[in-house]
């Protein structure tokens, strides 16, 4: 094999995880990155970033509407085509920009679908590439359930590129993707249905806060179909008809499947080289090594109970690079904040409310309806609510839930306090801008 095809490390997948690993490793190693789709992966092309560009506009409309009769006059409407053009003004340049970044950093990169030939050899388009270490960073992929009429179903990727907003749409599922995209569609003027096979929304968040999201979406005319299992989808002239197993019928223009995103492992031929995986992804140990020691897996491709999010993939990419370069410590995750952008936002970090409720001897829970506080009264964010969880022993903040406009900012401050294990007294020597969400911290954690 020519020197050109030999590397220290091959990374399969150029999303946030693979790229974090690649840039760190390339400071000391010859690295090859292989990508079969869009350079940059899910987050900037068809995930977090385009989603939040659409969210930013529809959420501004929602917040502006709250100021009707308080000095703001006139009505606002969403121009879907202009909104999409705005999104594309960002996403169109991502793949080429990412590839240029790799080229400028001198990182070898190749477009194509990778699979294992053996534990040190990857094949792309009938050409072999060898490396001592291989990192699987292939992410997760959209999923279409096996039901009659599955050919009519679309995914979040299709939604984020819709040229025209349909009049009436349905999402199957009530997790992150369904809730966030339903909110965008409803705020933009579509009639939206959410079809969930049980009675639970956003299972990673406290049920009592999920109820608030349900109420907010219902007020935006989103219809929930609980305990509804989709039996089939048929095409009827210009519409799609969804039939539920209990005889339900919902007629819409488009149906989007949002029942979870499985790890993207199909192409890799992992079984061929004895790398084990389960329903959630590639099995790894606490050094992110797969069942074969020289092959690592990171990000959404991994089997784990942690949330599968961009910062988690980046953290793991960085960790794996350091491990390949010689570090020996097991991975030690900081607390992971997460937010569903549903207008308002629901954010959570650290010890969960359910866990704290089950262990009353260990934790004090303080849930405060903050809608009447100046910060939220000013924004007319009447329903805002914050829960803090502190240890009874040391009085240290260990968990929080925030439901509010811009909850993402307050949760970040709370996350910093938890990560640094700062006592409430630390806030006495901190002087944030007043009035701001940060200036409320001393009333939330004292």
* Strand (E) or helix (H) holding 366: strand 363-369
Instruction: With H, G, I as helix, E, B as strand and everything else as coil, classify residue 107.
Output: coil
Contact 174, 194 (CB under 8 A): yes
Nearer to ligand FAD, 15 or 206 (CB): 15
Query: Which residue in 84, 165, 177, 182 binds ligand NAD (CB under 6 A)?
Result: 177
17 binds ligand FAD (CB under 6 A): yes
The entry of ligand NAD, ligand FAD, none that residue 258 binds, CB within 5 to 8 Å by partner kind: ligand NAD
> For the chain, how far is it from start to end, CA to CA, in angstroms?
64
Euclidean distance between CA atoms 358 and 282, whole angstroms: 32
175 binds ligand NAD (CB under 6 A): yes
Nearer to ligand FAD, 184 or 444 (CB): 184
How many residues sit in the footprint of ligand NAD (CB under 6 A)? 26
Angle at 137 between CA 136 and CA 138, to 5 degrees: 100
18 binds ligand FAD (CB under 6 A): yes
- Chain positions 82 to 121 lying near ligand FAD, rule: CB under 6 A, are 113-114
Contact 189, 77 (CB under 8 A): yes
Euclidean distance between CA atoms 358 and 354, whole angstroms: 6
User: Could you tell me which of 406, 437, 204, 184 has the C-alpha nearest to residue 312?
Assistant: 204
Contact 5, 124 (CB under 8 A): no
Contact 165, 189 (CB under 8 A): yes
Nearer to ligand FAD, 158 or 362 (CB): 158
Query: Which residue in 183, 196, 290, 347 binds ligand NAD (CB under 6 A)?
Result: 196
Query: Which residue in 58, 340, 410, 417 binds ligand NAD (CB under 6 A)?
Result: 340
- Beta-sheet pairing, 121-124 with 115-118: antiparallel
Angle at 177 between CA 436 and CA 346, to 5 degrees: 25
* Strand (E) or helix (H) holding 109: strand 108-111
How many residues sit in the footprint of ligand FAD (CB under 6 A)? 36
Least distance CB 407 / ligand NAD (angstroms): 12
- Chain positions 203 to 222 lying near ligand FAD, rule: CB under 6 A, are none
Confirm or deny that 349 is annotated as ligand binding: no
Least distance CB 152 / ligand NAD (angstroms): 15
Q: What is the CA radius of gyration of the chain?
A: 23
Residue nearest to ligand NAD (CB): 175
156 binds ligand FAD (CB under 6 A): yes
User: Any idea which residue has 């907003």 for tokens?
Assistant: 165
Confirm or deny that 260 is annotated as ligand binding: yes
Confirm or deny that 398 is annotated as ligand binding: no
Instruction: Give the residues lining the site for ligand FAD (CB under 6 A).
Output: 12-18, 34-38, 41-43, 47-48, 51, 113-114, 137-140, 156, 177, 264, 267-268, 299-300, 308-311, 313
Instruction: Give the residues lining the site for ligand NAD (CB under 6 A).
Output: 145, 172-178, 180, 195-197, 203, 229-230, 258-261, 307-309, 338-341
Binding residues for NAD(+): 173-180, 260
């Amino acid at each position: 094999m020519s020197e050109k095809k030999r590397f220290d490390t091959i990374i399969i997948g150029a999303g946030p995880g693979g790229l974090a690993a690649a840039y760190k490793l390339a400071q000391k190693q010859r690295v090859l990155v292989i990508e079969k789709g869009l350079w940059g992966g899910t987050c900037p092309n068809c995930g977090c970033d385009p989603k939040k560009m659409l969210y930013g506009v529809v959420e501004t409309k929602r917040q502006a509407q709250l100021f009707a009769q308080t000095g703001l006059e006139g009505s606002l409407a969403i121009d879907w085509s202009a909104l999409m053009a705005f999104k594309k003004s960002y996403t169109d340049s991502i793949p080429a920009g990412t590839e240029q970044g790799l080229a400028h950093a001198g990182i070898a990169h190749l477009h194509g679908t990778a699979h294992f030939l053996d534990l040190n050899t990857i094949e792309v388009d009938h050409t072999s590439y060898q490396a001592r270490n291989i990192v699987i960073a292939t992410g997760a992929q959209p999923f279409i359930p096996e039901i009659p009429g599955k050919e009519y179903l679309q995914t979040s990727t299709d939604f984020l590129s819709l040229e025209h907003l349909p009049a009436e749409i349905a999402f199957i599922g009530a997790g992150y993707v369904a809730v966030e995209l339903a909110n965008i569609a409803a705020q933009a003027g579509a009639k939206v249905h959410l079809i969930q096979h049980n009675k639970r929304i956003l299972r990673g968040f406290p049920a009592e806060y999920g109820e608030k999201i349900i109420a907010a979406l219902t007020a935006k005319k989103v219809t929930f179909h609980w305990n509804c299992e989709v039996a089939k989808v048929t095409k009827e002239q210009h519409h799609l008809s969804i039939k539920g197993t209990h005889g339900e019928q919902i007629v819409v223009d488009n149906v989007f499947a949002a029942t979870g995103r499985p790890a993207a492992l199909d192409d890799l031929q992992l079984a061929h080289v004895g790398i084990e995986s389960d329903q959630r992804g590639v099995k790894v140990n606490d050094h992110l090594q797969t069942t074969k020691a020289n092959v690592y897996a990171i990000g959404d491709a991994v089997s784990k109970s942690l949330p599968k999010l961009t910062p988690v993939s980046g953290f793991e990419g960085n960790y794996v690079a350091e491990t390949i370069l010689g570090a020996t410590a097991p991975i030690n995750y900081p607390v992971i904040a997460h937010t569903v952008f549903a207008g308002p936002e629901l954010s959570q970090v650290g010890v969960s409310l359910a866990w704290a409720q089950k262990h009353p001897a260990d934790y004090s829970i303080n849930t405060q309806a903050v809608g009447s506080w100046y910060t939220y009264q000013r924004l007319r964010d009447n329903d805002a609510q914050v829960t803090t969880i502190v240890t009874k022993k040391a009085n240290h903040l260990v968990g929080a839930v925030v439901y509010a406009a811009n909850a993402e900012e307050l949760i970040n401050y709370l996350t910093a306090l938890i990560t640094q294990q700062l006592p409430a007294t630390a806030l006495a020597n901190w002087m944030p801008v007043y009035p701001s969400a940060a200036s409320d911290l001393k009333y939330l954690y004292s």
